[in-house]
Amino acid sequence: MDFLVLFLFYLALVLIGVVTICICSKTHYLKGLVRGGAQIISYIIPECLQRAVLKLLHYLFHTRNHTFILLHLILQGMVYSEYTWEIFDYCQELEFSLHFLLLPYLLLIVNLVFFILSCVSNPGTITKANELLFLQVYEFDEVMFSKNMKCSTCNLRKPARSKHCSVCNRCVHRFDHHCVWVNNCIGAWNARYFLLYLLTLTASAATMAIVSSVFLVQLVVVSDLYLETYVDDLGHFQVIDIVFLIQYLFLTFPRIVFMLGFVIMLSFLLGGYLCFTLYLAATNQTTNEWYRGDWAWCQHCPHVARPPSAEPQVHRNIHSHGLWSNLREIFLPATAHYERKKN
Write out the catalytic residue numbers. Answer: 179
H-only helix segments in the chain: 2-24, 28-42, 47-62, 67-82, 89-93, 98-120, 131-135, 191-222, 242-252, 254-282, 287-297, 323-331, 334-342
Strands 184-186 and 177-179: antiparallel
Question: CA-CA distance, 100 to 23, in Å (whole number)?
Answer: 34
Question: CA-CA distance, 217 to 119, in Å (whole number)?
Answer: 38
| CB proximity list for 103: less than 8 A, separation 6 or greater | 207, 211
What is the SS3 assignment for 150?
strand
| CB proximity list for 190: less than 8 A, separation 6 or greater | 117, 118, 121, 122, 123, 124, 184
What backbone torsions phi and psi does residue 172 show, to the nearest 5 degrees? -120, 130
Query: How many residues in the chain?
Result: 343
